[in-house]
Chain A
């Protein structure tokens, strides 16, 4: 969709001693154009989701009528329980919750500690290790996918949850980088003062760095949640028995069986997205700020 580009700062520019009435009119036109374009972009973001919702509420058969109707005649709320119960989605949900929780916990522990080391503890190895870590972010996941599979099958962990969460307990380069960037913006004086007061590194981390880094930590938590919740490839490779499936695998199973019942497929999609949308809306204030600050500030 083509979106017209507006000037970056349409805000405080009217400094010229032009006729006040004319300047005011120009500003109003600019503001209205901006609003119109913002509404258009928001519609582009929301329409597919609303479409998903209305499709999920249509009775069987009404999905394939043309031209499509946005508001269904009958709201078929039973699509949600019907879709959910037609496969063992309750089991898939429990599996997804277990894997996702372990992944988040693992990422938080294993990324905060190295991030602190890279930000605040000096060592001759630090520069080299940091470069190495950034370098690994360039390596396509496909390069390590085969050796990791061989490792986990040698350990006899195929068809268990271990391959899905264990790597998260050993640091994710991107998250370490984000956290490290944020930690470096926290004044060194605070850390020095605490050290003089006799605080150990763990205490400094727990009492000073973590409380001051909420946006960055919220960002890593949310990214890690979204990543683990939506992960499709790893479960597809490692999980064999249906009772071990996570929600994404359940969805692909569902699609195989109900590939023409778009109303049911959309109902399952919505149910799978509810936790993500809820968490995002709850955390978005921290989150957007976290990305803005960590993504670029420490460049």
Chain B
């Protein structure tokens, strides 16, 4: 079957326009993925050539107690941060969806933290979460409760980080907001005529109609926070007592502190595996609660 000249010309143009991505894929994504997989079967300490060691790195990984600590922390941080983010941003989106005067200003203010999140705000949160002089414990103190040692106490370090990440979940919030505007008003009116109160309308209209969006934000948030380590590296560097050592950070440590590129790659693949497992689990659970409209 000979394609017409027009079709071929369009295909040529497609390849030309897609070229930046194609080159990027070969050199910065696809190629590196293959290299990384190969490296995970080698011992490579930069000074000499990589040495093939078969499954040794993977065996070592399974016996590495810090790897299991990091895995546990990663799951804990990922689940807590994704859940808190979804709950907070859904609540915020519901509020921001009500027609009120000044709503645009509220949207800007509540969204702002997500734009500015970065090293400068990490520095801010080190201060805000300071056990003695920080804002959070000061506010808790006003309620008569002695706040814990956020970031300094092994059992409160991850919760402290979760408070910070929840502060920056604006993107999920905006996606919820877009989703809420797609829920037909007629459903609320019907529920209201049936005498449903706001909680019942929320449970029986908003949640089912929004479940695909909730699912999307949950999965994306989970995938993102399983890999997060930039701020953790800066704020706690895995401490205290490895309580915030996550897999992303563990990869960084082996690669750029110990310069064991092979083992670092092995840890990275373990992280990838973890991301896949949790994504598959979430898709499996989704069948029980995510409601897609039948078109």
Interface residues of A (CB under 8 A from B): 1, 3-13, 15-16, 30-31, 34-35, 37-38, 41-42, 44-49, 51-52, 55, 63-68, 109-111, 113-114, 116-118, 121-126, 129, 132-133, 136, 138-151, 167, 169-171, 173, 176, 201, 222, 226, 229-230, 232-233, 236-237, 247-248, 251-252, 255, 262, 265-266, 268-270, 272-273, 276-277, 280-281, 284, 288, 291-293, 295-297
Contact string against A for B residues 247-258, beta-carbon threshold 8 Å, 1 for contact and 0 otherwise: 110011001100
Q: Does the CB pair B112–A45 fall under 8 Å?
A: yes
Which residues of chain B are near A171, meaning CB under 8 Å?
20-21, 24-25
Contact string against A for B residues 97-122, beta-carbon threshold 8 Å, 1 for contact and 0 otherwise: 11110000011111111011111110
18 more contacts with CB within 8 A, not counting A142-B251, A143-B269, A232-B119, are: A7-B206, A8-B97, A8-B206, A11-B99, A12-B185, A31-B100, A41-B106, A46-B112, A51-B135, A133-B25, A142-B227, A145-B255, A170-B23, A173-B29, A236-B256, A291-B178, A292-B174, A292-B181
Q: Closest B-chain residue to A292, C-beta based? A: B178
Q: Does the CB pair A9–B7 fall under 8 Å?
A: no
Q: Closest B-chain residue to A114, C-beta based? A: B21
Which residues of chain B are near A117, meaning CB under 8 Å?
13-15, 17-18
Q: Does the CB pair B17–A52 fall under 8 Å?
A: no
Query: CA–CA, A70 to B91, complex, Å?
Result: 29
Among listed B31-39, B58-66, B149-157, B281-289, interface-contacting one:
B31-39
A147-B95 in contact given A8-B183, A121-B14 (Cβ < 8 Å): no
Q: Residue A292 contacts which of B14, B177, B183, B234 (CB distance < 8 angstroms)?
A: B177
Query: CA–CA, A292 to B179, complex, Å?
Result: 8
A5-B109 in contact given A133-B25, A146-B255 (Cβ < 8 Å): no
Q: Judge if B54 is at the interface, Cβ distance under 8 Å.
A: no
Determine how close the nearest CB of chain B comes to the CB of A212; give it in whole angstroms.
Answer: 18
Q: Judge if B79 is at the interface, Cβ distance under 8 Å.
A: no
Which residues of chain A are near B227, meaning CB under 8 Å?
140-142
Interface residues of B (CB under 8 A from A): 7, 10-11, 13-15, 17-25, 27-33, 35-36, 39, 88, 90-92, 94-100, 106-113, 115-121, 123-125, 127-128, 130, 132-133, 135, 138, 141, 167, 171, 174-175, 177-181, 183, 185, 188-189, 192-193, 198-199, 201-202, 205-206, 213, 216, 223, 226-227, 229-230, 233-234, 247-248, 251-252, 255-256, 261, 264-265, 267-269, 271-272, 275-276, 279
Q: Does the CB pair A122–B14 fall under 8 Å?
A: yes
Q: Closest B-chain residue to A233, C-beta based? A: B230
Q: Residue A280 contacts which of B22, B92, B116, B181 (CB distance < 8 angstroms)?
A: B116
A170-B20 in contact given A15-B189, A125-B15, A255-B123 (Cβ < 8 Å): yes
Q: What are 13 A-B interface contacts by the 8 Å CB criterion?
A: A5-B90, A6-B95, A8-B180, A9-B188, A16-B192, A38-B106, A67-B138, A121-B14, A123-B15, A143-B271, A144-B36, A276-B118, A284-B108
Q: Does the CB pair A139–B109 fall under 8 Å?
A: no
Which residues of chain B are near A147, meaning CB under 8 Å?
31-33, 35-36, 39
Which residues of chain A are near B226, meaning CB under 8 Å?
140
Q: Does the CB pair B175–A291 fall under 8 Å?
A: yes
Which residues of chain A are near B10, meaning CB under 8 Å?
121-123
Q: Residue B24 contacts which of A47, A68, A167 (CB distance < 8 angstroms)?
A: A167
Would you call the interface of chain A mostly helix, strand, loop, or mixed? helix
Q: Does the CB pair B268–A262 fall under 8 Å?
A: no
Query: CA–CA, A273 to B118, complex, Å?
Result: 9
Q: Does the CB pair A3–B92 fall under 8 Å?
A: yes
A7-B121 in contact given A113-B18, A146-B265, A296-B178 (Cβ < 8 Å): no
Q: Does the CB pair A126–B125 fall under 8 Å?
A: no
Query: CA–CA, A255 to B223, complex, Å?
Result: 30
Q: Does the CB pair B118–A230 fall under 8 Å?
A: yes
Q: Residue A6 contacts which of B15, B27, B198, B252 (CB distance < 8 angstroms)?
A: B198
Which residues of chain B are near A129, meaning CB under 8 Å?
18, 21-22
Which residues of chain B are near A51, meaning CB under 8 Å?
124, 127-128, 135
Q: Does the CB pair B268–A143 fall under 8 Å?
A: yes
Determine how close the nearest CB of chain B comes to the CB of A164; give it in whole angstroms.
Answer: 13
Please give me the 10 A-B residue pairs with the lowest Cβ-Cβ distance, nearest first. A230-B118, A170-B24, A147-B32, A117-B17, A110-B20, A171-B21, A7-B198, A123-B14, A123-B11, A144-B32
Q: Closest A-chain residue to B38, C-beta based? A: A147
Q: Does the CB pair A121–B17 fall under 8 Å?
A: yes
Which residues of chain A are near B36, meaning CB under 8 Å?
143-144, 146-147
Which residues of chain A are near B23, meaning CB under 8 Å?
170
Which residues of chain A are near B97, meaning CB under 8 Å?
8-9
Q: Does the CB pair A109–B20 fall under 8 Å?
A: yes
A281-B108 in contact given A125-B14, A237-B256 (Cβ < 8 Å): yes
